[in-house]
Chain A
Amino acid sequence: MNLLNVIDEIEKKDPEIYQRLDGRRQALKQFASFSGKVAMLAVPVALGSMFKKAYGQTGTALLLDVLNFALTLEYLEAEFYVKGLAAPGLIAAVDRPAFQTISAHENAHVLFLRTTIMSLGGTPVAKPNFDFTAGNGSMAGPFANVFTNYGTYLAVSQTFEDTGVRAYKGQAGNLISSNEVLRAALRIHSVEARHAAHVREIRRRNGLLVPAGVLLQPWITLNQSGIASPLVQPSYNGEELTTQAGINIVGINGFAITAEDASEAFDEPLTKAQVLAIVDPFII
């Protein structure tokens, strides 16, 4: 059976076959070709007008709540990298391009989220004031040397990125009603994971603040932070999970998968409350 011929036949009998498209998907498709042509800033606005049509007021409230939560975290990351790049002599020359890349992404995420929130009819939360020493405003917290000691800076960076990955993951289910918002969140989520992997690689290469006996890799082993400070532990607790959907991954189907492998192969979510508790010392 030659399917190409079959489709030709269908077209003969039903010339409108390609027009029998679901209205929303057709709109999306048109949007996809349109978005390539308009300026970057206009894109979230255009997206937002589509969201409102598709989801109405009630579903939008939950989306806005999640988006504003994400925006708070992106503010934190964005300012952290702007300040780090501005701190004289902090970031090693070899790593500067990478942090410029990461900084550009976090700023773009802030812009994207703010514009998306506004186009959904919401109000973006204001940027909080931050204390990157984790001192709750004392500016003399446990990471007091965060902008003068590269090791501390890298450790905080890794923690922010790994926490960001877990935070977005934890919100995915709250976005399931909106294909477009969920897709955008997933596309940010994997960027944060790329960042986390690279910052881990920087720390591995530099050996800064990596405790003796800890093998730091781009992925998370058990609940090991690879950071010599118990303060970051809540960002890693729960990552040691080796059972997924009731299926034990260790030694699965006779393969030599260790607990370390099993924990690395799956990143774990954090709830909004867990994330807010983690970032609380950094927010004044």
Chain B
Amino acid sequence: MQNKKLTDPLDKMEGNGMSNVSRRKFINYAGLSASALLLATSCSKKLDETMGENSMMQRNGNVNSEGGGKDGGKAVVNLGSGDIGILNYAFALEQLEAAFYIKVIATPYSGMSDKEREYLTDIRDHEIAHREFFRNALGDARIGGLILDFSTIDFNSRSSVLETAKAFEDLGVSAYNGAGELLQSAQYLLLAGKIVSVEARHAAAIRDFLSYGSFADSTVINSMGLDVYRTPPEVLAIADKYISTRILSQNLPTS
């Protein structure tokens, strides 16, 4: 658990715009060769074997986003660099969302209305579609299944579930809004755009369940009419509470 802190200082440096030169310098200082880092990035399967079982997996309340799929059981993932890194970042967020809604529908809170069930089921299916799309689009470059920790969520409580859903959807919107500029490929940018507006529709629907008319209130839209955006380190810091797997994001582009 001690090394869970590893991403924090790195991410902080990334957020401050640590240049490539500085990053290389850091790697040298840290006694790692650039090729070793690349190896860790590109060979997640290898990394998986060497990391083996991790005590984090035994934390109470952990669930595997893959539902015990063949990719499950990773204790650490490296998102990688460039566009692949950003797509893996999106894949990680979609894993989180999909697993959450799968559990919401599998163990519905008491008093779930017909319309809530209808919308939440649709949202689950959309998030599964996103997750599986990224899985296939990334192919061998994809990160493995994340170990998730939903122990802070009361799945029998409407307000706990919907407040979490609201947080996830607003977070997802802010994440895609912040990630677009980090992509080099116009095709990937368009794909991210196709997804983010659906996340925004989800956010609005969930918000209207909690408080009708709060679909775009001033907690997310500023006085210039602009929605929230966040950098990957900011998003991952917020999502960290729900993700046991350590996500290494230091190779993501920063501009």
Residues B209-243 near A (CB distance < 8 A): 213, 215-217, 221, 223-229
Q: Does B152 contact A (CB under 8 A)?
A: no
Q: Does B76 contact A (CB under 8 A)?
A: no
Q: Which of A2, A21, A172, A258 contacts B16 (CB 8 A)?
A: A21
Is the beta-carbon distance between B177 and A255 smaller than 8 angstroms? no
**Which of A6-14, A55-63, A136-144, A148-156 contacts the other chain?**
A6-14
Is the beta-carbon distance between B216 and A105 smaller than 8 angstroms? yes
Q: Does A201 contact B (CB under 8 A)?
A: yes
Q: Does B122 contact A (CB under 8 A)?
A: yes
Is the beta-carbon distance between A3 and B204 smaller than 8 angstroms? no
Q: Does B154 contact A (CB under 8 A)?
A: no
Q: Does A76 contact B (CB under 8 A)?
A: no
Nearest B residue (CB) for A241: B194
Taking chain B's interface residues, is the majority helix, strand, or loop, or is none over half, making it mixed?
helix
Q: Does A109 contact B (CB under 8 A)?
A: yes
- Known interface pairs A20-B22, A252-B133; A112-B189 also in contact (CB < 8 Å): no
- Known interface pairs A2-B2, A3-B10, A194-B200; A249-B129 also in contact (CB < 8 Å): yes
Mark interface residues in B182-221 (1 if CB within 8 Å of A CB, else 0): 0110110111011111111111110010000101110001
Q: How far is the CA of A217 from the CA of B202 in the complex (A)?
A: 10
Residues of chain B within 8 A (CB-CB) of A93 are none
Q: Which of A112, A197, A269 contacts B204 (CB 8 A)?
A: A197
Q: How many residues of B contact A (CB 8 A)?
A: 71
Shortest distance between the CB of B49 and any CB in chain A (Å): 20
Is the beta-carbon distance between B201 and A194 smaller than 8 angstroms? yes
Q: How far is the CA of A265 from the CA of B123 in the complex (A)?
A: 8
Q: Does A191 contact B (CB under 8 A)?
A: yes
Q: Does B254 contact A (CB under 8 A)?
A: yes
Q: Does A53 contact B (CB under 8 A)?
A: no
**Which of B23-31, B37-45, B52-60 contacts the other chain?**
B23-31
Is the beta-carbon distance between A108 and B9 smaller than 8 angstroms? no
Residues of chain A within 8 A (CB-CB) of B30 are 3, 6, 10
Mark interface residues in A192-214 (1 if CB within 8 Å of B CB, else 0): 11111110010000000000000
Mark interface residues in A49-83 (1 if CB within 8 Å of B CB, else 0): 00000000000000000000000000000000000
Other than the known A245-B187, A264-B122, what 4 A-B pairs have Cβ atoms closer than 8 Å?
A165-B197, A198-B208, A265-B198, A267-B197
Q: Which of B6, B133, B215, B229 contacts A197 (CB 8 A)?
A: B215
**Which of A94-102, A122-130, A224-232, A272-280 contacts the other chain?**
A94-102
Residues of chain B within 8 A (CB-CB) of A28 are 17
Is the beta-carbon distance between A179 and B181 smaller than 8 angstroms? yes
Shortest distance between the CB of A48 and any CB in chain B (Å): 14
Q: Which of A102, A190, A249 contacts B177 (CB 8 A)?
A: A190
Is the beta-carbon distance between A194 and B203 smaller than 8 angstroms? yes
Q: Does B3 contact A (CB under 8 A)?
A: yes
Q: Does B144 contact A (CB under 8 A)?
A: no
Q: How far is the CA of A4 from the CA of B228 in the complex (A)?
A: 31
Is the beta-carbon distance between B201 and A4 smaller than 8 angstroms? no
Q: Does B19 contact A (CB under 8 A)?
A: yes
Which residues in A have some Cβ–Cβ distance to B below 8 Å? 1-4, 6-7, 9-10, 13-14, 17-18, 20-22, 24-26, 28-29, 40, 43-44, 97-98, 101-102, 104-109, 111-112, 165, 168-169, 172-173, 176, 179-180, 182-184, 186-198, 201, 217-219, 244-245, 247, 249, 252-253, 255-258, 261-262, 264-269
Is the beta-carbon distance between B194 and A244 smaller than 8 angstroms? yes
Q: How far is the CA of A188 from the CA of B197 in the complex (A)?
A: 10
- Known interface pairs A102-B216, A191-B216, A244-B133; A269-B190 also in contact (CB < 8 Å): yes
Q: Does B255 contact A (CB under 8 A)?
A: yes
- CB pairs A–B below 8 angstroms (20 shown): A3-B5, A4-B9, A6-B29, A20-B18, A28-B17, A98-B213, A165-B197, A172-B193, A182-B181, A183-B177, A183-B178, A186-B181, A187-B226, A190-B176, A190-B199, A194-B204, A197-B201, A253-B132, A255-B129, A257-B128
Taking chain A's interface residues, is the majority helix, strand, or loop, or is none over half, making it mixed?
helix
Q: Which of B17, B26, B194, B199 contacts A26 (CB 8 A)?
A: B17
Q: Does B1 contact A (CB under 8 A)?
A: no
Is the beta-carbon distance between A187 and B227 smaller than 8 angstroms? yes
Residues of chain A within 8 A (CB-CB) of B158 are none
Residues of chain A within 8 A (CB-CB) of B16 are 18, 21, 29
Q: Does B125 contact A (CB under 8 A)?
A: yes
Is the beta-carbon distance between B176 and A186 smaller than 8 angstroms? yes
Is the beta-carbon distance between B221 and A105 smaller than 8 angstroms? yes
Is the beta-carbon distance between B203 and A106 smaller than 8 angstroms? no
- Known interface pairs A3-B6, A105-B221, A184-B226; A169-B129 also in contact (CB < 8 Å): no
